[in-house]
Amino acid sequence: MAESTPHLSPAEAKSTLSADWVAFRTIVIKEIRRFLRIWPQTLVPPAISMVLYFLIFGTFIGSRVGRMGGLDYMAFIVPGLIMMSVITNAYSNVASSFYSTKFQRSIETMLVAPIPNGVILAGFVAGGVARGLCVGAIVTIMAGFFVDFTIHSFALTVGMILMTAVLFSLGGFINAVFADKFDDISIIPAFVLTPLTYLGGVFYSLDLLPDFWRTVSYFNPIVYMVSSFRYGIFGVSGDVPVYLSVAAIGGFVVLFWTISLVLLNRGTGIRA
Partner 1 sequence: MTTAALSIAGLRKVYADGFTALKGIDLEVKEGDFFALLGPNGAGKSTTIGIICSLVRKTEGAVKIFGIDVDKDFAAAKRLIGVVPQEFNFSIFEKVGDIVEVQAGFYGLSLRDGAVNTEKYLKRLGLWDKRNAQARHLSGGMKRRLMIARALVHEPRLLILDEPTAGVDIEIRRSMWAFLEEMNQAGTTIILTTHYLEEAESLCRNIAIIDHGEIVENTSMRALLGQLTTETFVVDLAEPVAAAPEVPGFAFRQVDAQCLELDLTRGQHLNAAFAALDSAGLKVMSLRNKSNRLEQLFVSLTASEGSAETLVHG
Query: Segment near partner 1 (CB under 8 A), from 41-49, 72-80, 103-111, 184-192?
Result: 103-111
The upper half-sphere exposure of residue 73, i.e. CA atoms within 13 Å in the direction of its Cβ, equals 17
- Return the residues of window 194-223 that contact partner 1 according to CB under 8 A: none
Q: Is residue 123 within 8 Å of residue 23, measured between CB atoms?
A: yes
Separation between Cα atoms, residue 59 and residue 196, nearest integer Å: 24
Query: Segment near partner 1 (CB under 8 A), from 96-104, 135-143, 164-172, 206-214?
Result: 96-104
Q: Of 144 and 267, which CB lies nearer to partner 1 in the complex structure?
A: 267
- Return the residues of window 53-72 that contact partner 1 according to CB under 8 A: none
Q: How far is the CB of 232 from partner 1 (least distance, A)?
A: 36
CA angle 112, 258, 120 (to 5 degrees): 25
Q: Of 102 and 152, which CB lies nearer to partner 1 in the complex structure?
A: 102
Separation between Cα atoms, residue 60 and residue 172, nearest integer Å: 34
For 4, the 3-state DSSP assignment is: coil
148 binds partner 1 (CB under 8 A): no
**Each residue of 50-76: b (16+ CB within 10 Å) or e?**
bbebbeebbeeebeebeebbebbbbbb
Residue of 109, 215, 237, 258 interacting with partner 1 (CB under 8 A): 109
Q: Of 73 and 98, which CB lies nearer to partner 1 in the complex structure?
A: 98
- Cβ neighbors of 106 (< 8 A, separation 6 or more) are 100
Residue of 9, 64, 112, 219 interacting with partner 1 (CB under 8 A): 112
5 binds partner 1 (CB under 8 A): yes
Q: Of 81 and 263, which CB lies nearer to partner 1 in the complex structure?
A: 263
105 binds partner 1 (CB under 8 A): yes
Q: Of 106 and 258, which CB lies nearer to partner 1 in the complex structure?
A: 106
- Return the residues of window 7-46 that contact partner 1 according to CB under 8 A: 15-16, 18-20, 22-23, 25-27, 29-30, 33, 37
Separation between Cα atoms, residue 95 and residue 189, nearest integer Å: 10
DSSP letters of 214-265? Answer: HHHHTT-HHHHHHHHHHHHHH----SS-HHHHHHHHHHHHHHHHHHHHHHHH
Q: How far is the CB of 198 from partner 1 (least distance, A)?
A: 33
Separation between Cα atoms, residue 236 and residue 12, nearest integer Å: 52
Q: How far is the CB of 49 from partner 1 (least distance, A)?
A: 25
- Name the site residues for partner 1 (rule: CB under 8 A): 1-6, 15-16, 18-20, 22-23, 25-27, 29-30, 33, 37, 100-101, 104-106, 108-116, 267, 271-272
